Amino acid sequence: MTDAKTSIDETVKANDVVLYMKGTKSMPQCGFSSRVAGVLNYMGVDFTDVNVLADDAIRQGIKDYSEWPTIPQLYVKGEFVGGCDIITEMTLSGELDQLFESNGVTYDKDAAEKIREANG
């Protein structure tokens, strides 16, 4: 498990935004992963996707790394943000915009507003 932890640690620290998910950003393989990847894609966020289905050590390792039992898991600037429900709430409240802005992550503000309008 040490190799998985090292790999995860290097990935989350080397990339501004990382989504550990089932599937890929272009082909999610579960509804929760699809929702978070869809939000990030729609908002134009440049993010690294890691398919946990491709590696059992990473699949378990990410849960141990974050001490969070579910996937997907979003990291911004090396910090764990949350899973699907938390990202959905943060998107709708505008907190995700604030997190991106405070960390210098580029995203489409108009797209973020459209998500809120459609779900308001």
Mean pLDDT value of segment 51-57: 97
pLDDT at 120: 77
DSSP state of 28: B
At 84, the pLDDT band (50, 70, 90 cuts) reads very high
Domain boundaries, the chain: 4-118
Q: Does 30 belong to an annotated binding site?
A: yes
Measured distance CA(72)–CA(85) in Å, rounded: 10
CATH class of 4-118: alpha beta
Give the predicted TM-score (pTM) of the model. 0.96
Q: Which residue has the higher pLDDT, 108 or 1?
A: 108
Confidence tier at 66 by pLDDT (50, 70, 90)? very high
Tokens in use for 44?
Answer: 């134009």
What's the pLDDT score for residue 2? 73
* Average pLDDT estimate for 32-42: 98
Number of neighbours of residue 92 by Cβ within 10 angstroms: 16
Task: State pLDDT tens for residues 86-115.
Answer: 999 999 999 999 999 999 999 999 999 999
By C-alpha distance, which of 48, 38, 43 is closest to 16? Answer: 48
